[in-house]
Structure 1
């Protein structure tokens, strides 16, 4: 029981008992315990991916968002994602120089051309 809620003469007996509970804290913080990692954190492995894989995943994610925008006929979203796709492709240009543009990139460009012809015409 807190010493603030006690009445009269009981305060002396409880204050001596609660004095044990309120041990003084060491100055400078609670740094006496070492930092231990849990077993879950120790077992996680980092996945190392090549730069080519990272760029392909970025392009594929943008293509998925463009296809979704095409399905719901959101032309402004297609334009925004197409601009992001162009930037991502320019960023991946160094990685893709050897093999050329990936097939899925060329396919989305053709699909976008057909989509725009259908929407505008």
Structure 2
């Protein structure tokens, strides 16, 4: 079963806390189909604590995840970040800033009726960073 970015956003917890963490196999399938639809050198995701994985920021490479840090977590089922082409080490705060900006723009585009999920809410505590 392949899931698109749209399917991923619709499956995650919203800002009210509804929803559940996805199984790791589902997360891998989402990342696989997303990278097939829009090939990128890197795909970063933020996961909460799940049944078969620890919450944190992960980097997806073709078939597997690499944990970047477990210091930053989220209450959402899954956050997909835009592709980042970077030769240097990526600072965790910079990665989160880029992701929050992407989420904010997703909401703006969605409010125009262009098909982006309305459930892609930036975390309330971090809104001041934008």
TM-score, normalization by structure 1: 0.28
Q: Report which of the two structures shows the higher radius of gyration computed on alpha carbons.
A: 1
Which structure has more relative contact order (CA 8 Å, sep 6+)? It is 2
TM-score for both structures, normalised by structure 2: 0.27
Q: Which has the higher strand share?
A: 2
Question: Which structure shows the higher helix fraction?
Answer: 1
